[in-house]
């Protein structure tokens, strides 16, 4: 097995960290994000889309469209307010994407794959815990003027509704535009599940490494593929967010759960990092922590031959 520790691509970067004594193996996807404090008065074509107001009274006030092209009243951000928002954005998006997905390496090498005992050892942190890889996620901000190219450019708008002019429905965020209200767990109207909108929108950026004009560049809603084949399909329709309860609970549906669908980017990368193409299994951390994965005979043998592996 050839192990690549880091892979840097235009869609996202990833890093494989082998297990150590008592420390699980990790596969961390790192997304470089340019989070932009959107000036509501700047035209979309402007080279300067950001504005920080010294005071609320001096803020620019204008209208910016949501996903349904409804113009919402917004103001420019104050710098301290945007700093707090950015920190919360990173914290909440990482909270939702981190620590839910666990990948289990194949016990037996399948045809064409070479997984030596030494390789298998890189997934073992303890004798009493099944060999596994924890899937992680990190946001790295790309500041204004940085020479580094971001993987994702996301505009943050500061809603500023007038008391006598409350919009008839909430702002509908999309991959490139979120609001100051999108970094908390909320229950959107008509939905049954708690959801962090910012984490969902960041998820859309975890598609394939293809040009932005290719639909595969974005990770779509969980049932987009099936729904988009219907003759009466309307993009963004409710059907995309999950046609069954279990799919609706998913983060790329209307909930917060990471499922086989959200695991796709990690599965693709673990194959590339390890060159092991087949036999990976996914398990949610809750089930893994309940010791629902037995210790394989191979793990017992490999650990017995390596006294440095702790109990
Ligand atoms: Zn979405």
pLDDT tens column, 195-246: 999 999 999 999 999 998 999 999 999 999 999 999 988 888 889 999 999 9
Percentage of the chain beyond pLDDT 70 is 98
Question: How many residues does this entry show for the chain?
Answer: 311
Specify which residues 29 forms β-bridges with: 14, 137
Q: String of b and e for 96-122 (b: at least 16 CB within 10 Å)?
A: bbbebbbbbbbeebeeebebeeebbbb
Q: How far apart are CA 103 and CA 218, in angstroms?
A: 23
Cα–ligand 1 centroid distance for 195 (angstroms): 11
Specify the DSSP class assigned to residue 268: H
Q: pTM here?
A: 0.94
In the block, tokens 């082998």 appear at 18
Cα–ligand 1 centroid distance for 240 (angstroms): 9
Instruction: Kindly state the tokens that stand for 207.
Output: 């598609």
Cα–ligand 1 centroid distance for 235 (angstroms): 11
Cα–ligand 1 centroid distance for 88 (angstroms): 20
The pLDDT assigned to 108 comes to 72
Cα–ligand 1 centroid distance for 262 (angstroms): 13
Cα–ligand 1 centroid distance for 177 (angstroms): 11
- Using only C-alpha atoms, the chain has a radius of gyration, in whole angstroms, of 22
Cα–ligand 1 centroid distance for 236 (angstroms): 8
The per-residue pLDDT for range 115-168, each reduced to its tens digit, is: 888 889 999 999 999 999 999 999 999 999 999 999 999 999 999 998 788 888
In the block, tokens 């990092």 appear at 273
The per-residue pLDDT for range 52-95, each reduced to its tens digit, is: 999 999 999 999 999 999 999 999 999 999 999 999 999 999 99
Specify which residues 73 forms β-bridges with: 63
Cα–ligand 1 centroid distance for 252 (angstroms): 7
Cα–ligand 1 centroid distance for 17 (angstroms): 30
- C-alpha distances out from residue 306 to 120, 127, 141, 261, 311, Å: 12, 10, 40, 36, 11
Q: How far apart are CA 206 and CA 301, in angstroms?
A: 37
C-beta neighbour count of 301 within 10 angstroms: 12
Cα–ligand 1 centroid distance for 297 (angstroms): 43
Decide if 95 contacts 263 (C-beta within 8 A): no
Cα–ligand 1 centroid distance for 256 (angstroms): 12
Cα–ligand 1 centroid distance for 274 (angstroms): 31
Instruction: Kindly state the tokens that stand for 25.
Output: 């193996």
Average pLDDT, stretch 5-34?
Answer: 96
The pLDDT assigned to 2 comes to 59
Cα–ligand 1 centroid distance for 201 (angstroms): 6
Cα–ligand 1 centroid distance for 197 (angstroms): 8
Does the pLDDT value for residue 255 go beyond 70?
yes
């Amino acid at each position: 097995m050839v192990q690549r520790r880091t892979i840097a691509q235009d869609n996202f970067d990833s890093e494989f960290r082998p297990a150590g004594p008592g420390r699980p193996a990790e596969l961390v996807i790192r997304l470089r994000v340019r989070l932009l404090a959107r000036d509501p008065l700047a035209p979309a074509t402007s080279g300067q889309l950001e504005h920080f107001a010294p005071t609320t009274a001096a803020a620019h006030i204008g209208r910016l469209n949501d996903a349904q092209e409804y113009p919402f009243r917004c103001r420019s951000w104050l710098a301290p307010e945007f700093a707090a928002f950015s920190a919360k954005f990173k914290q909440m998006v990482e909270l939702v994407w981190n620590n839910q997905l666990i990948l289990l390496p194949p016990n037996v090498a399948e045809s064409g794959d070479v997984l030596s005992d030494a390789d298998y050892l890189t997934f073992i942190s303890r004798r009493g815990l099944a060999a596994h890889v924890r899937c992680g996620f990190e946001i790295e901000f790309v500041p204004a003027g940085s020479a580094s190219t971001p993987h994702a450019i996301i505009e943050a708008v500061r809603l500023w509704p007038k008391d006598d002019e409350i919009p008839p429905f909430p702002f509908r965020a999309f991959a490139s535009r979120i609001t100051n209200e999108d970094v908390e767990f909320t229950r959107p109207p008509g939905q049954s599940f708690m959801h962090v909108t910012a984490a969902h929108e960041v998820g859309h950026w975890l598609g394939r490494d293809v040009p932005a004009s290719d639909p595969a560049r974005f990770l779509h809603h969980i049932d987009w593929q099936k729904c988009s084949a219907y003759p009466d399909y309307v993009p963004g329709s409710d059907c995309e967010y999950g046609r069954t309860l279990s799919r609706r609970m998913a983060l790329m549906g209307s909930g917060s759960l990471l499922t086989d669908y959200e695991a796709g980017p990690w599965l693709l990368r673990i194959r590339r990092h390890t060159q092991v193409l087949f036999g990976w299994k996914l398990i949610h951390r809750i089930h893994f922590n309940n010791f629902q994965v037995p210790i394989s005979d191979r793990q017992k043998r490999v650990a017995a031959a390596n006294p440095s592996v702790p109990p």
